[in-house]
């Protein structure tokens, strides 16, 4: 029998043991293949206007995915080989040469890897159409897709995983050389010892995390005061991540030691066992628990952030483009062309509102402020003016109202992006005086206040002035009339929007709802897809890592549970003790991860015009639910393993 045969027989006979390893390899491959197959899909590339953006978005995140998937596969390989150390030791004891054993392990892993690579690509190919449809829905693209296997995706997946598998196989080959025989036999007995806890270090850990959180809460304030955005973000990352690792290494130990000292609760039933067991295992667990907590935070942030962007696409489009179409009236001919285009789509998109906004542009400046630069406009040379009476009737027409009563010498600013909650917003012009150059003379007026309204799709900064001022202004400048039209079902008015855009092509100004919305939806739809996809992969992988880790411990702890059985511990007590232990192992990183996320998204909220509350309320419970599923599964398998 050749070594290759022996390797194959090994896999066949112990398939149950190999199954977990197989499953995690296949899972990684399926996820990776699905992802790159979307990247290289020819149909999606054609459909999206921003095809470069698409492959760009996929490229960056696929690097992230490779890193993660590689780590995950190396981890599961480590879990798997650790389980087999004894078997390898036995071969060596029976007189197989090291080189032979190494070769056998190498072939075995290579063999399994190649098989799972094939299965993985196959499953991935089958799944990719479903993911493709989902992506298109999210991007708002109406497209009928067909089944497709991009060759480049297959090649890339094959290349990436072949390298990873080669690496893990080589690790298998080296296993026999890395350890002495005695170490191979006592693989599961590696003494973990009882770690030393330190309240001082625990306090430092909490201080670190608190610093990170405080920085996140006052993100914008600190960033604008000199530290800069990126360095601050890295500082927050440093403090929270280091704090997390320290917390798990020192705080948990200190807490458990304290629990041991509280004899009354410690000497109560199985507490004596579960607490000691947790303490005994914490040294080996602290790093993984901290990693899981950081990964959870990253996952939740990625999903929460992309969901926020996705939701904000709808909100900002509604807010910034209050009308379906806005264009500057020029002549009768243009109006006729527009009306004709509107008429053609009357059935699907009847006009529901049609208002005219009259303004006069005047040169001028806000004193002491050279220019006001906000997200959506710049004031550097002048303003659009409109009379107070006209403003009130216009507001009524668009279904809004603002209580403005101007005294002589006062003006009121209408600034769509005005939002004093948003940090980074420059409201320095409010309460300043403004100089308007009317004809040859100029006049000074005071800006009384500002209101956050968009009067047309142009999003311009408009000053409401007393009627008599406007009358004067009108004599010197030309009045501009903007026609604002609202139609029904503006979100899918692609044809109409294209036609209108074409009709007013030569007019000086035109803006519509649909194009902003669909472009936003395409990029944010892609973003939420990638966010949720990566989030899902991360979640499944972190869940699996905890699961593996616990099962590894279960195997090592079996003798301990046998002893408990003999001492007279009932199965129910055992189950409850396992439940309790696992609960600590699972919830500690989860709670910390969720906390990290809340603070991170709170910082993010300062830079975004929408609330992060809704994404959080959706993502976090879903995450917890899936995570809880892993908990249940782990408890069950653990119990099965030790009884």
Partner 1 sequence: MNVVLEAKNVSKIYSTKGKGNEYKALDNVSFTVKEGEFVGIMGPSGAGKTTLLNMISTIDSPTSGEIYIDGNNIVKMKEDKLALFRRNKLGFIFQDYNLLDSLTVAENIALPLALAKVNAKEIDNRVKKIAATFGIERILNHYPYQISGGQKQRCAASRAIITNPTLIFGDEPTGALDSKSATDLLESLTQLNEKARATILLVTHDAFAASYCRRVLFIKDGRIFKELYKEERSRKQFFSSILAILSDIGGGVSDVI
DSSP secondary structure code for residue 142 in this structure? -
In the complex, what is the shortest distance from the CB of residue 201 to partner 1, in angstroms, rounded to a whole number?
23
CB nearer to partner 1: pick between 274 and 374:
274
In the complex, what is the shortest distance from the CB of residue 100 to partner 1, in angstroms, rounded to a whole number?
35
Query: 462, 357 in Cβ contact below 8 A?
Result: no
Q: Which stretch binds partner 1 (CB under 8 A): 29-37, 210-218, 483-491, 555-563?
A: 555-563
CB nearer to partner 1: pick between 197 and 451:
197
Sign of CA dihedral 394, 396, 399, 405: positive
Q: Looking at 146, 147, 191, 370, which residue binds partner 1 (CB under 8 A)?
A: 191
Residues facing 482 on adjacent strands:
328, 357
Q: Looking at 355, 495, 536, 569, which residue binds partner 1 (CB under 8 A)?
A: 569
CB nearer to partner 1: pick between 81 and 581:
581
CB atoms within 10 A of CB 553: 22
Which conformational region is residue 399 in: left (phi greater than 0), alpha (psi within -120 to 50 degrees), or beta? Answer: left
If one asks whether residue 314 binds partner 1 (CB under 8 A), the answer comes out as no
Q: Looking at 94, 347, 567, 625, which residue binds partner 1 (CB under 8 A)?
A: 567
CB nearer to partner 1: pick between 415 and 557:
557
If one asks whether residue 233 binds partner 1 (CB under 8 A), the answer comes out as no
Burial class of 298 by CB neighbour count within 10 A (0 to 12, 13 to 18, 19+): buried
CB nearer to partner 1: pick between 20 and 556:
556
In the complex, what is the shortest distance from the CB of residue 542 to partner 1, in angstroms, rounded to a whole number?
26
DSSP secondary structure code for residue 491 in this structure? G
Residues touching partner 1: how many (CB under 8 A)? Answer: 30
Q: Which stretch binds partner 1 (CB under 8 A): 58-66, 360-368, 480-488, 565-573?
A: 565-573
Report the SS3 class of residue 352: strand
CB nearer to partner 1: pick between 257 and 448:
257
Q: Looking at 93, 137, 207, 563, which residue binds partner 1 (CB under 8 A)?
A: 563
Burial class of 376 by CB neighbour count within 10 A (0 to 12, 13 to 18, 19+): middle
If one asks whether residue 570 binds partner 1 (CB under 8 A), the answer comes out as yes
CB nearer to partner 1: pick between 489 and 560:
560
384 half-sphere exposure, CB direction, 13 A CA radius: 21
Q: Looking at 100, 171, 565, 611, which residue binds partner 1 (CB under 8 A)?
A: 565
If one asks whether residue 182 binds partner 1 (CB under 8 A), the answer comes out as no
**Cα distances (Å, whole numbers) of residue 169 to 67, 103, 104, 175, 520:** 18, 9, 10, 10, 45
In the complex, what is the shortest distance from the CB of residue 170 to partner 1, in angstroms, rounded to a whole number?
34
Which conformational region is residue 414 in: left (phi greater than 0), alpha (psi within -120 to 50 degrees), or beta? Answer: beta
In the complex, what is the shortest distance from the CB of residue 264 to partner 1, in angstroms, rounded to a whole number?
5
If one asks whether residue 234 binds partner 1 (CB under 8 A), the answer comes out as no
Q: Report the alpha-carbon distance of residue 32 to residue 35 in Å, rounded.
A: 5
Provide DSSP, 143-210: --------HHHHHHHHHHHHHHHHHHHHHHHHHHHHS-HHHHHTGGG----PPPP-HHHHHHHHHHHH
Q: Which stretch binds partner 1 (CB under 8 A): 95-103, 169-177, 483-491, 557-565?
A: 557-565
Q: Report the alpha-carbon distance of residue 223 to residue 219 in Å, rounded.
A: 6
CB nearer to partner 1: pick between 87 and 192:
192
Burial class of 625 by CB neighbour count within 10 A (0 to 12, 13 to 18, 19+): exposed
Q: Report the alpha-carbon distance of residue 384 to residue 391 in Å, rounded.
A: 12
Query: 103, 15 in Cβ contact below 8 A?
Result: no
In the complex, what is the shortest distance from the CB of residue 196 to partner 1, in angstroms, rounded to a whole number?
14
Q: Looking at 489, 560, 583, 614, which residue binds partner 1 (CB under 8 A)?
A: 560
Residue with tokens 């809460």: 217
Q: Looking at 194, 452, 604, 610, which residue binds partner 1 (CB under 8 A)?
A: 194
In the complex, what is the shortest distance from the CB of residue 275 to partner 1, in angstroms, rounded to a whole number?
9
In the complex, what is the shortest distance from the CB of residue 183 to partner 1, in angstroms, rounded to a whole number?
17
Query: 347, 503 in Cβ contact below 8 A?
Result: no
In the complex, what is the shortest distance from the CB of residue 566 to partner 1, in angstroms, rounded to a whole number?
6
CB nearer to partner 1: pick between 436 and 556:
556
In the complex, what is the shortest distance from the CB of residue 34 to partner 1, in angstroms, rounded to a whole number?
43
Tokens of 160: 């990436």
If one asks whether residue 179 binds partner 1 (CB under 8 A), the answer comes out as no
In the complex, what is the shortest distance from the CB of residue 99 to partner 1, in angstroms, rounded to a whole number?
35
Residues 245-304 that bind partner 1 (CB under 8 A): 263-264, 266-273, 276-277, 279-281
CB nearer to partner 1: pick between 192 and 354:
192
Sign of CA dihedral 437, 439, 440, 442: negative
Residue with tokens 């005294």: 407
Q: Which stretch binds partner 1 (CB under 8 A): 218-226, 440-448, 456-464, 564-572?
A: 564-572
Q: Which residues are within 8 A (CB) of 530 and not within 5 positions of it... i.e. 6 or more apart?
A: 57, 58, 61, 306
CB nearer to partner 1: pick between 13 and 268:
268
CB nearer to partner 1: pick between 268 and 446:
268
In the complex, what is the shortest distance from the CB of residue 263 to partner 1, in angstroms, rounded to a whole number?
4
Q: Which stretch binds partner 1 (CB under 8 A): 17-25, 198-206, 410-418, 556-564?
A: 556-564
If one asks whether residue 186 binds partner 1 (CB under 8 A), the answer comes out as no
Q: In 3D, which of 517, 506, 408 has the Cα closest to residue 139? A: 517
Q: In 3D, which of 158, 179, 23 has the Cα closest to residue 105? A: 179
Enumerate binding residues for partner 1 (CB under 8 A). 191, 194, 263-264, 266-273, 276-277, 279-281, 560, 562-573
């Amino acid at each position: 029998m050749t070594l290759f045969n022996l390797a194959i027989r090994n896999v066949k006979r112990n398939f149950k043991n190999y199954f977990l390893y197989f499953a995690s390899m296949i899972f990684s491959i399926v996820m990776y293949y699905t992802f790159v197959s979307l990247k290289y899909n020819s149909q999606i590339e054609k459909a999206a206007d921003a095809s470069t953006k698409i492959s760009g978005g996929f490229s960056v995140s696929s690097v992230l995915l490779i890193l993660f998937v590689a780590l995950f596969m190396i981890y599961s390989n480590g879990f798997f080989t650790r389980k087999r150390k004894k078997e390898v030791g036995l071969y060596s004891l029976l007189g197989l040469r090291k080189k032979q054993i190494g070769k056998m392990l190498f072939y075995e892993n290579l063999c399994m890897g190649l098989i799972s690579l094939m299965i993985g690509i196959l499953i991935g190919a089958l799944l990719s159409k479903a993911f493709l449809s989902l992506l298109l829905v999210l991007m708002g693209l109406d497209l009928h897709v067909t089944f497709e296997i991009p060759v480049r995706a297959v090649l890339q997946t094959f290349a990436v995983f072949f390298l990873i598998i080669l690496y893990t196989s080589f690790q298998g080959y080296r296993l026999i050389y890395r350890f002495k025989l005695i170490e191979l036999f006592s693989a599961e007995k590696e003494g973990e010892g009882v770690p030393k806890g330190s309240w001082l270090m625990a306090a430092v850990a909490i201080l670190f995390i608190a610093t990170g959180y405080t920085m996140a809460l006052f993100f914008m304030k600190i960033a604008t005061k000199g530290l800069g955005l990126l360095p601050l973000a890295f500082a927050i990352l440093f403090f929270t991540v280091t704090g997390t690792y320290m917390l798990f290494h020192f705080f948990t130990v200190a807490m458990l030691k304290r629990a041991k000292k509280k004899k009354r609760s410690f000497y109560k039933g199985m507490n004596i066992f579960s607490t000691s067991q947790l303490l005994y295992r914490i040294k080996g667990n602290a790093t993984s628990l901290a990693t899981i907590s950081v990964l959870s935070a990253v996952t939740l942030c990625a999903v929460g952030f992309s969901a926020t962007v996705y939701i904000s696409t709808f909100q900002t489009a509604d807010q910034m483009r209050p009308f379906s179409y806005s264009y500057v009236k020029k002549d009768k001919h243009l109006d006729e062309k527009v009306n004709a285009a509107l008429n053609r789509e009357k059935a699907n998109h009847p006009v529901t509102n049609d208002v005219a906004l009259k303004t006069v542009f005047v040169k001028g400046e806000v004193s002491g402020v050279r220019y006001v630069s906000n997200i959506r406009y710049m004031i550097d040379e002048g303003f659009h003016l409109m009379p107070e009476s006209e403003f009130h009737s216009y507001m009524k027409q668009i279904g809004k109202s603002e209580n403005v009563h101007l005294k002589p010498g006062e003006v009121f600013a209408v600034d769509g992006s005005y939002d004093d909650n948003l940090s980074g917003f420059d409201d320095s012009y409010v309460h300043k005086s403004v100089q308007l150059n009317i004809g040859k003379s100029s006049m000074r007026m005071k800006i009384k206040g500002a209101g956050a309204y968009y009067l047309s799709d142009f999003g311009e900064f408009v000053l409401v002035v007393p009627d008599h001022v406007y009358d004067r202004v009108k004599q010197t400048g030309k009045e501009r009339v903007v026609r604002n039209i609202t139609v029904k079902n503006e979100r899918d008015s692609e044809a109409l929007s294209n036609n209108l855009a074409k009709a007013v092509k030569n007019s000086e100004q035109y803006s519509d709802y649909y194009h902003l919305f669909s472009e936003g939806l395409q990029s944010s739809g892609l973003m939420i897809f990638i966010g949720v996809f990566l989030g899902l992969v991360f979640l499944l992988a972190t869940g699996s890592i905890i699961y593996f880790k616990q099962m590894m411990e279960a195997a090592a702890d079996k003798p301990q549970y046998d002893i408990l059985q003999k001492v007279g511990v009932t199965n129910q007590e055992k189950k409850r003790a396992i439940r309790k232990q696992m609960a600590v192992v699972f919830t500690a990183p989860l709670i910390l991860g969720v906390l990290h996320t809340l603070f991170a998204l709170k910082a993010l909220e300062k830079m975004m015009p929408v609330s992060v509350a809704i994404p959080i309320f959706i993502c976090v419970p879903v995450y917890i639910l899936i995570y809880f599923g892993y908990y249940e599964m782990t408890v069950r398998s653990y119990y099965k393993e030790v009884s």
